[in-house]
Amino acid sequence: MLHGALQGFMRKIIHIDADCFYAAIEMRDDPSLANHPMAVGGAADRRGVIATCNYEARAYGVRSAMSSGHALKLCPDLLIVRPRMDVYREVSREIHGILREYTELIEPLSLDEAYLDVSDSPHFAGSATRIAQDIRRRVTGQLHITVSAGVAPNKFLAKIASDWRKPDGLFVITPDQVEDFVAALPVSKLHGVGKVTSDKLARLGIRTCMDLREWDRLALAREFGSFGERLWNLSRGIDERQVQVDSRRQSVSVETTYDHDLPDLAACLDRLPELLDQLSRRMARLDSSYRPDKPFVKIKFHDFTQTTLEQAGATRDLDSYRQLLGQAHARGDKPVRLMGVGVRLIDLRGVSEQLELFERFL
């Protein structure tokens, strides 16, 4: 394991994250929005949700994924602007055009976020810090928005670093700083640790990675199953995940937030055919390198709790989705504000490559 850790520490990973991306573009294009609490999202009277907001709005407690109605209660002066996804996609393409000038090893996470592996980049004598500085300079100069950057020996630490000095910041974790930096890190910052796991760790007296290091692998596996091994590694700053250049689609889905809550299962079932029609049209645009697999449904109840249910081996017809929807609805049995349907996908290109690799050894 030590050898693997050292191999990982030799990498130079940059995580680039645009600062309040959608909101920043709106403020750039309409300067009157700057220095005022504003957000990008749906209208409150149509049960809209906040996609992102500027830092003035965040000071009031407004956050992404919050209902627009609740955001306005927290900040009555909040300006909510409708999203312009075509503009955001174009700016994202321009950002990625800049990134590609430094390396081809880029893993996009979303329109405004990406990992870069610059371990072998010839730019700036191989200095990841100077590459990150230059990317930030060019994005600001050419696109008039800011990005924050984190530089570290692996993806886990680079992502934490990019958030360390937001907005418009750069933070570097060098290999010889990893041990001390990670030791003081709250376990809630670890990749994959959500509220439930964080609460369980706290009940066990584990609040920092230094606390976590006192547990051996076996004890962590008993408490957390296969995730215990991951916790053991992360608490020591070990993350062997590589930057995945070709991020292939894993599913296709559609969802709708309703203006008025669907009161019961019967109302949800009435809306199912129109969702499946939308899904069918979206699936028709997939190329032949994908094969449809498991159907799934997603429900968000009126209180914002949500559930997703999928079924291996099920067909993708109306009856199958009706059964899935019934089972998913029974988990909450409450009025529904959002409903979605989708299909998991098998990447035939990946399967083909695996078969070719296997055949070489026959």
**Catalytic annotation, pick one of 26, 94, 113, 310:** 113
Q: Do 259 and 298 belong together in one domain?
A: yes
Its pTM surpasses 0.85: no
Q: What is the pLDDT of residue 246?
A: 66
- In angstroms, rounded to a whole number, what is the distance separating the alpha carbons of residues 83 and 51? 8
Q: Decide: 191 and 159 in contact? Cβ < 8 Å.
A: yes
244, part of any domain:
no
Q: Quick check: 3 pLDDT over 70?
A: no
Cis peptide before 167 (omega within 30 of 0): yes
Q: Do 98 and 165 belong together in one domain?
A: yes
Tell me which of 67, 83, 99 is where a domain ends: 83
Q: Do 299 and 334 belong together in one domain?
A: yes
The more confidently predicted of residues 360 and 347 is 347
Note the pLDDT tens digit of each residue in 90-123. Answer: 999 999 999 999 998 999 988 899 999 999 998 9
Q: What is the pLDDT of residue 247?
A: 61
294, part of any domain:
yes
- Enter the tokens of residue 4: 């693997």
Query: How many domains does the chain divide into?
Result: 4
**Residue 351, number of CB atoms within 10 A of its CB:** 12
Domain with residue 255: its CATH number is 3.30.1490.100
Burial degree of 31 (CB within 10 A; 0-12, 13-18, 19+): exposed
Tell me which of 43, 66, 83 is where a domain ends: 83
Q: Do 257 and 317 belong together in one domain?
A: yes
Q: Do 8 and 101 belong together in one domain?
A: yes
Q: Do 152 and 50 belong together in one domain?
A: no
**Mean pLDDT, range 75-92, rounded to an integer:** 94
Burial degree of 319 (CB within 10 A; 0-12, 13-18, 19+): exposed
At 362, is the pLDDT very low, low, confident or very high (cuts 50, 70, 90)?
very low
SS (H, E, C) 89-129: HHHHHHHHHHHCCCCCCEEEEECCEEEEECCCCCHHHHCHH
Q: Do 133 and 99 belong together in one domain?
A: yes
Q: Decide: 244 and 213 in contact? Cβ < 8 Å.
A: no
In sequence order, the 6+-apart residues with CB closer than 8 A to the CB of 235 are: 182, 187, 190, 209, 212, 213
Domain with residue 28: its CATH number is 3.40.1170.60
361, part of any domain:
no
Tell me which of 55, 83, 111 is where a domain ends: 83
Show the domain range for 62: 22-83
pLDDT averaged over every residue in the chain: 89
245, part of any domain:
no
242, part of any domain:
no
Q: Do 56 and 32 belong together in one domain?
A: yes
239, part of any domain:
no
Does residue 353 carry a catalytic annotation? Answer: no
Q: Do 134 and 168 belong together in one domain?
A: yes
At 350, is the pLDDT very low, low, confident or very high (cuts 50, 70, 90)?
low
Q: Do 276 and 328 belong together in one domain?
A: yes
308, part of any domain:
yes
Q: Do 103 and 11 belong together in one domain?
A: yes
Tell me the percentage of the chain whose pLDDT exceeds 90: 70
Burial degree of 43 (CB within 10 A; 0-12, 13-18, 19+): exposed
Task: Report the binding-site residues.
Answer: 17, 112
Q: Do 214 and 298 belong together in one domain?
A: no
Task: Report the binding-site residues for Mg(2+).
Answer: 17, 112
